[in-house]
Amino acid sequence: MGDETGTTTHVLETAAARWESPAFRRDERQLSPNGKRRIIGSFSHGSMANALPQAIGAQFTDRSRQVVSMSGDGGFSMLMGDFLTLVQYDLPVKVIVFDNSSLGMVELEMLVSGLPSYGTTNRNPDFAAIARAAGAYGVRVEKPKQLTAALRDAFRHEGPALVDVVTDPNALSIPPRISAEMVTGFALSASRIVLDGGVGRMIQMARSNLRNVPRP
């Protein structure tokens, strides 16, 4: 991204992943504000679905500036109709959708509260196909090795573009501070899931997240 890129994000798992992931910490210069590059979000309210409307407003004020909208699949779906506004006015916003087919932060909040998650799974369409049907550029990323080329091609496209990045639904966004209450709640919910026959689910979750544990 350029030094004057404007980035919008909604504040749930997308923002947590953006600030806390090891990948971001390795290359944070790509997204960190620098006086010219700005990040806009509804950080005090923890809102969903604000990224795309904010990106539309930012791009309208300056069509020459690169604007990027970053959303989870849940937040993008809530106001997906706004994508048609990008096409209608040919706004060159680049939309990145982190697609884990779930309301990931809601699920995590339930787990650390001792509650097995319920109603947090999304049955998503191919968002890239929807973008193409609307007349924009759309590409779907299903493997990590496809990501670099997909982003490069999307950013080279002169009009609106969407990159649908399929991510692991079992990968958790680890908070910067973990309290004893969180650990207790997660252990309780995990026990309930196992007793309800979800041993395989917990094993898969462990496998997905062990690779993200910081090594000394």
Please give the pLDDT value at position 36: 72
Please give the pLDDT value at position 146: 96
Q: What mean pLDDT do residues 45-71 have?
A: 89
Please give the pLDDT value at position 19: 43
Note whether residue 215 is domain-resident. Answer: no
Which band of pLDDT confidence, cut at 50, 70 and 90, is reported for residue 90? very high
Which SS3 state, helix, strand or coil, does residue 152 take?
A: helix
Note whether residue 1 is domain-resident. Answer: no
Note whether residue 57 is domain-resident. Answer: yes
Q: What is the pLDDT of residues 127-136, one digit of tens each?
A: 999 999 999 9
CATH number of the domain where residue 22 is located? 3.40.50.970
Which band of pLDDT confidence, cut at 50, 70 and 90, is reported for residue 216? low
Note whether residue 216 is domain-resident. Answer: no
Q: What mean pLDDT do residues 139-158 have?
A: 96
Q: What mean pLDDT do residues 148-160 have?
A: 96
Q: What percent of the chain has pLDDT over 90?
A: 44
Q: Is the pLDDT of residue 63 over 50?
A: yes
Q: What is the pLDDT of residues 200-209, one digit of tens each?
A: 888 888 887 7
CA distance 57 to 93: 10
Domain count within the chain: 1
Note whether residue 34 is domain-resident. Answer: yes
Please give the pLDDT value at position 109: 78
CA distance 153 to 91: 17
Q: What is the pLDDT of residues 30-44, one digit of tens each?
A: 566 666 777 787 766
Range of the domain at 63: 6-210
Note whether residue 56 is domain-resident. Answer: yes
Note whether residue 161 is domain-resident. Answer: yes
**Which residues does 96 contact at the CB level (< 8 Å), separation at least 6?**
68, 69, 70, 71, 151, 162, 163, 165
> Shortest CA distance to 18 belongs to which of 4, 1, 35, 3?
1
